[in-house]
Amino acid sequence: MRGGLRAAAPLAPAVFLVGVSFGIAALPVMGAVAPVVMSAIVHAGSAQFAALAVLADGGGAGAAIVAGILLNLRFLPMAVAYAPWIPGGALRRAAEGQATTDASWAIASRGGGRFDRDTLLGATLAQYPAWLLGTLAGVLIGEGLGDPRDVGLDAIFPAFFLALLVEEARGRRGAAVAVAGAVVALALSPLVPPGIPVLAASVIALVGLRGERP
């Protein structure tokens, strides 16, 4: 698990600060307790921000739930890919599947469809407390912490994913799939609800059905 903890360590401060910004944004809409509970049991940043945005705009509970679910649907193909590497019975596999996050999944990927279970669990272990404590700090200290965007926070996650992508997109086929995935996501982004573009990009991987393994 150490490998995962170490690999995700550069992200922990960023996760904490995004948690802070979620806490600050959620406080006037949800009160002080609900955002912390949400971070503890939903633990999915983008889905939480999406649901919060709907509630803050006066949208209904149904719309907030749908927005959050759409953003989390990408975990469906991610967890399917990781599934063969989880041992044990159905209940244990279901429980371990909960550790799937964007960053952990990407860190644990070893290429060729292989995943390292220990690394994935360790990487999630590094992020979970940071997200929870960040949210707590956000609702407690509020605006006093300033705007996380000032420190370039929103560039950290795409840069992190880019670094992992460089490893994954080796070879002509991987590179072509990466370009196609980005194009599909960007083309759909203005047309469909948030979350769908990234989910739709996973369809590109179906070219793997044709011919030899990459």
Q: What is the 3-state secondary structure (H, E, C) of the chain?
A: CHHHHHHHHHHHHHHHHHHHHHHHHHHHHHCCHHHHHHHHHCCCHHHHHHHHHHHHCCCCHHHHHHHHHHHHCCHHHHHHHHHHHCCCCHHHHHHHHCCCCHHHHHHHECCCCCECHHHHHHHHHHHHHHHHHHHHHHHHHHHHHCCHHHHCHHHHHHHHHHHHHHHHCCCHHHHHHHHHHHHHHHHHCCCCCCCHHHHHHHHHHHHHHCCCCC
Q: How far is the CB of 151 from another protein (least distance, A)?
A: 5
Residue (112 or 144) nearer to another protein, CB: 112
Q: Which is nearer to another protein, 44 or 133 (CB)?
A: 44
Residue 66 CB, nearest approach to another protein (Å):
10
Residue with tokens 């550790």: 99
Nearer to another protein, 77 or 142 (CB): 77
What SS3 state is found at 109?
strand
Q: For another protein, give the closer residue by CB, 137 or 202.
A: 202
CB of 16 to another protein, least distance (A): 14
Least distance from another protein to the Cβ atom of residue 96, Å = 7
Question: Residues 187, 189, 194, CA angle at the centre, nearest 5°?
Answer: 155
Least distance to another protein, CB of residue 3, Å: 13
Cβ closest to another protein, residue 100 vs residue 119: 100
Residue 38 beta carbon to another protein: minimum distance, rounded to whole angstroms: 5
* Cβ nearer to another protein, comparing 48 with 119: 48
